[in-house]
Amino acid sequence: MSDTLDIKSVSISRRDSFNARDPHTRDLKPFHSGSIKILLLENVSPTAVDILKKAGYQVDFHTKALDKATLIEKIKDVHAIGIRSKTKLTEEVLSHANKLIAIGCFCIGTNQVDLNFAASRGICVFNSPFSNSRSVAELVIAEIILLSRQLGDRSREMHDGVWNKVSKNCYEIRGKTLGIVGYGHIGTQLGVLAESLGMHVIWYDVLPLMPIGMSRAAETLHEVLAEADFVSLHVPETPETKYMIGERELASMKKGSYLINASRGTVVAIEALAAALKSGHLAGAAVDVYPTEPLSNGPGFESLLRNCPNTLLTPHIGGSTEEAQRMIGVEVAAALTKFINSGTSINAVNFAECDLRAIPSTDMTTVRIVNVHQNVPGVLRQINNILADYNVNKQISDSKGDVAYFMADVTVDNPKEINTIYEHITAISENIITRVLF
């Protein structure tokens, strides 16, 4: 950041601190000149808009994703951007973001953002890994019941004027086994809900985790696939999970079982799933995510799964409830505000997580230095040499990959010296972004 510091523009107010022992703390604000501009896309929750406007930012709100050319033009002049899953923040797009310091993904996934390139530009990325967990878990429970009773096909037949009252191959879910692949926030909630309906729960995860309720862990993915009547996938998109459910895995599932995917579209090989459904090996499937998805609502969706028997297709709505979107709005907007105003990177996806105690309201001479730099030897020595003539009240530094993050609260009695500190740190060759908060 090369903006000249404007000492006259600094305003002082009050905020609550995470340090409960001293609730009377100073509200930090960005010290460089110019108002903070936020670009919000894809109709993020009005709750987020309200939070960011109340923080004093200029908010440019759009209900839909922007085409690439418009996005590149818009992103040149903003300090933060909020998106959902349709906007792709690639290296090409981010290379035009000269003022951008933060990205808020108002969803769980962050695969739509080039995280490493963003970090290399000093851009911190936040998401909402917890807020829609209940909504997704409830949708999966509904789909389990719908599939076991073939309600999707019966409903479609009735809309076509066909009365088809059958009980063959329709079952209660009580006593059946649910296999959960990925026992994280969604998987654990799903397991609790399933057990309350009388199901047995078995799960597989790459991490050693504590079972909740009467659920039990499987040693391998194959064990879950071979034993479960319903298999529900809840894994992130990584190179290891790409097409982790293919022809071989589907063949290892019990004949007459069901597959549910509410995780990521690349986790399941769609052609192999369609074949398993049409052959009758699988009794049904519910799919909420796809390898490629339309950028906007309307006609034009194509998939090999269309018109497969007992197959529920939904348009990526697992977390699309009013409650989830409101909580996502609160979580991500709060993270963006804290990062912009106080430098807090807690819960960041691509940055090391750092924070400092709040500054007491009685302390009017302390400023906060926030610095992102290349993670190479000698940078901290250079920064601390610059700060050596000042009282450093507290500092923290951590790194993630090739990028390091540094925060320090420094007492500066003469406000004119703040510019000097800023200029000396930004002159370090490994500097990526330096901000001064007051």
Order of strands across the sheet that contains 37-40: 58-61, 37-40, 80-83, 102-105, 124-126
108 φ/ψ angles, rounded to the nearest 5 degrees: -80, -50
Residue for token pair 């659920």: 215
Q: Tell me the catalytic residues.
A: 264, 293, 316
Q: What is the SS3 assignment for 143?
A: helix
Residue for token pair 């703040």: 418
Residue for token pair 């699309």: 320
Q: Residue 171's closest CA among 296, 85, 258, 53?
A: 258
Taking a C-beta distance cutoff of 8 angstroms, is the pair 179, 231 a contact? yes
Q: How far is it, in rounded angstroms, from Cα 234 to Cα 186?
A: 7
E-strand stretches of 354-415: 366-374, 391-400, 403-411
Q: How far is it, in rounded angstroms, from Cα 177 to Cα 185?
A: 20
Burial of 100 from C-beta contacts in 10 A (0-12 / 13-18 / 19+): buried
Structure tokens at 381: 């020595």
The number of residues in the chain equals 438
- Helix (H) or strand (E) holding 103, with range, is strand 102-105
304 φ/ψ angles, rounded to the nearest 5 degrees: -65, -15
Taking a C-beta distance cutoff of 8 angstroms, is the pair 39, 66 a contact? no
